[in-house]
Amino acid sequence: MSSDNQAYKTAIEQGQTAIGIEVGSTRIKTVLIDQHHTPLASGSHEWENSYSEGIWTYRLEALWKGVQDSYAKMAKNAMQLYGVPLRLSGAIGFSGMMHGYMVFDKAGELLTPFRTWRNTITEKASEELSALFRFPIPQRWSIAHLYQAILNAEPHVKDIDYMTTVAGYIHWMLTGNKIVGVGEASGMFPIDSASYDFDAQRLALFDAAVADRGFSWKLKDILPRVLQAGDNGGVLTPQGALLLDPSGQLQAGIPMCPPEGDAGTGMVATNSVAQRTGNVSTGTSVFAMVVLEKDLSAVYPVIDMVTTPDGKPVAMVHSNNCSTDYDAWLNLFGEAMRAMGVQTEKQKLFETLLGKALEADADCGGLLSYGYVSGEHVTGFEEGRPLFVRSAESSFTLANFMRVQLFTALGALRTGMDVLFEKEAVHVDEIFGHGGFFKIRQVGQKIMSAALNVPVSVMETAGEGGAWGIAILASYMKNKIEGETLDAFLKERVFSGKPAVRVLPEATDVAGFNRFFERYTQGLPIMRAAVDHMKQ
């Protein structure tokens, strides 16, 4: 065994590690890191949401199966690499897709199927709450889902005892504590930047607005307690240890950090918690976040105001659709190749076809596509209809087709980012990218830099994503010294000396994306017609 592997084995045996688990939209991933934040082992579980009775949802049984499988694969990976069973860890953290609606009664029973961030069924609630609070409340926020359920007179609302997120739910089941981190909380309800807690004045406004409904609860009573990065979130209970690891090897009593959302873990994983830093996280959805130097001058429906895990204000643009549709096209091409008797690995297929985008015309040769698998609030669509359009004069080549799929994955994101850059003159020195869009790094970075006209960097650790980010937050809770800020911890103890590949925007690509984006914006009525005239 090498000296490095011997050190990693010792770290595992002595519990000098941290475990991060992130429940994403299509994958649940677990990462084990050592005290130097080096990933030692990982495991993942693929899963998909289902569309049932007009709701995007996941079953709780599938959630726990996925969490357990992801953890078990990580533990098996550690055993294979270092020959030691995983019994201890210095800390554990859970992260998950933000927002959504999970409500429970006094017996801890889920009152309605989990309504995920992907649902665009709360438009009226979003509009009314944004006006009431004078603060943007996106459709996917937990409070929008709650208020829409009230407007719909859904009978379960009167029985609510607790409302939380998927990460908050898992943390509750494993520790018994009803808490969330402030970054996660900022996607449930507005945060007071002075107290790092839910905004008391807006809580009172909500309670007054629903007072005539006669509910026995006040909003503050059913929300989780809010903690900051570095705070202790409790410990893994004996029941929680068995729930996470049914094999019984993992010991109880391990400290757990506050659960965070994937926005916060993305900031941590890309060292983007300081002012003028930004990051973009890509996958089923895509969201970009910029840590602000000052408050925005106005309220914009397409801009979310959230926070870093340590409470700094962040402007976020979130698009529901990113990679799902072009993944479907790539899989279709793979199916065609197999029908012709040609076998190829998925990674090779993706590298080859996405790489063609760099050979294309800068503006995709006049092609137009919308990858709206689900609704897209940024551009005003309650439902999605993926479509591809071209004129007889368009240059219909494979390269242009692949480029337009990548361009359109960022179309709604660009719509929101234009508000920050053009209307608010927000400055960002560099965007750090992570997630599936950057798997073929040169392609993803060049396309992203063209769309945002900002330098785009990807770190060697970016592939570990949010699971690594929440593991770092767990380590920060366990290992920070008194007075050490999260920003300082990341810069000096996590990212110091770690290389990043930086791509500058090229004028030709920027101009090409701008021409495409003009076509994208002008073509939205085509998308509207598809939604109106083609049923699900």
Kindly state whether residue 119 falls inside one of the protein's structural domains: no
- In the prediction, which pLDDT does 461 show? 62
Q: Residue 436: its pLDDT value, please? A: 80
Predicted confidence at residue 386, as pLDDT, reads 97
Is the residue at 341 inside a domain? Answer: yes
- Chain centroid to CA 342: how far? 36
Look at residue 131 and tell me if it is in a domain: no
Domain-embedded: residue 335: yes
Within a domain: 208: no
Number of structural domains in the chain: 1
Whole-number pLDDT of residue 4: 75
Q: Residue 1's pLDDT is what?
A: 55
Amino acid at 25: S
Strands (E), 390-536: 430-435, 456-459, 500-503
Determine the angle formed by the axes of helices 441-452 and 411-418, rounding to 10 degrees.
40
CA within 13 Å, CB half, 512: 27
* Whole-number Å distance between alpha carbons of 465 and 456: 16
Question: Among 35, 43, 29, 30, which Cα is nearest to 12's?
Answer: 35
Q: What is the pLDDT of residue 383?
A: 92
Position of tokens 């800390």? Answer: 91
Is the pTM of the predicted complex or chain greater than 0.85? no
Place of tokens 């000096």: 492
List the pLDDT tens digit at each of the 536 positions of the chain.
566 789 999 999 999 999 999 999 889 999 999 999 999 999 999 999 999 888 999 999 999 999 999 999 999 999 999 999 999 999 999 999 999 999 999 999 999 999 998 888 999 999 999 999 999 998 999 999 999 999 999 999 999 999 999 999 999 999 999 999 999 999 999 999 889 999 999 999 999 999 999 999 999 999 999 999 999 999 999 999 999 999 999 999 999 999 999 889 989 988 989 888 899 988 888 989 999 988 888 888 889 899 999 999 999 998 999 999 999 999 999 999 999 999 999 899 999 999 999 999 999 999 999 999 999 989 999 899 999 999 999 999 999 999 999 999 999 999 999 999 999 999 888 899 887 888 887 899 999 999 999 999 988 765 567 899 999 999 999 999 999 999 999 999 999 888 888 999 999 999 999 999 999 999 999 999 999 999 86
> Within a domain: residue 220?
no
Amino acid at 33: I
Q: What value, to the nearest 5°, has the Cα angle with vertex 316 and ends 157 and 19?
A: 80
Range of the domain at 351: 324-408+508-533
Q: Residues 334, 318: contact at Cβ < 8 Å?
A: no
Nearest CA to 310 among 422, 169, 135, 191?
A: 191
| Spatial CB neighbours of 236, under 8 Å, sequence gap ≥ 6 | 92, 174, 175, 244, 250, 252, 253, 254, 255, 256
Please give the pLDDT value at position 181: 97
3-state secondary structure of 498: coil
Residue 95 within any structural domain of the chain: no
Residue with tokens 């007179």, as numbered in its chain: 153
3-class SS shares of the chain: helix, strand, coil, % to 5: 45, 20, 35
